[in-house]
Amino acid sequence: MTSNQQHQRFTALLHEHRKIIFKVAASYGRSSADRDDLAQEIAAQLWRSFGRYDAVRAKFSTWMYRIALNVAISQARRRPEAGRFEPLDAHHLETVGGDEPLDEMDERLTTLHAFIARLDPLNRALILLYLEDRSHAEMAAILGITRTNVATKIARIKQQLRGQMVAAETTGA
């Protein structure tokens, strides 16, 4: 494949799956500028790694998620304030939630997104993939953990989120 053909193939695949980049950037970027920088860094890393992409071993979306999440998690870990996250605002929820306007979203969904934003980077990645209806095998491949670990972590995160949701409803927070 020529360099031009490779570039055209990459561009087409990137365009087809671009929402992955925006979802990851929206989940890990603290500000609009951070999200833009993260999306750009993810795209650059995808291009740098594209020559090693093997369509036989993985779907493009799986490969893309793995790289996007690795870049996002690496950047989150390098930030000195890695434990602090910006609260979700309308822009975040519109980006992550799809095309549905914020004023039509259920208040419970807004609360849930706020709790998800407080998860550590790996668990946030796991829930992001879970909400995308990815299989345990695919999540394991993307995150580099076992399927058993995926199942265990998802169960714990769901239990934690459920408890937080109940507490929020009880206190009216």
Which tens digits make up the pLDDT trace of 118-161? 888 889 989 889 988 889 999 998 888 999 999 999 999 999 98
Q: State yes or no: pLDDT of 90 exceeds 60.
A: no
The reported pLDDT for the residue numbered 132 is 85
What is the pTM assigned to this prediction? 0.64
Please, what is the average pLDDT of the chain? 82
Q: Which amino acid is at 133?
A: D
Q: 154 exposed, middle or buried (CB, 10 Å; 0-12, 13-18, 19+)?
A: middle
The reported pLDDT for the residue numbered 113 is 79
The reported pLDDT for the residue numbered 106 is 64
The reported pLDDT for the residue numbered 173 is 53
Look-up: residue for tokens 């929206």?
26
Give the HSE-up count for residue 70: Cα atoms under 13 Å, Cβ half-sphere. 17
Report the share of the chain in percent with pLDDT over 90: 37
The reported pLDDT for the residue numbered 172 is 64
H/E stretch holding 33 reads helix 32-49
φ and ψ of 130, to 5 deg: -60, -45
The length of the chain is 173
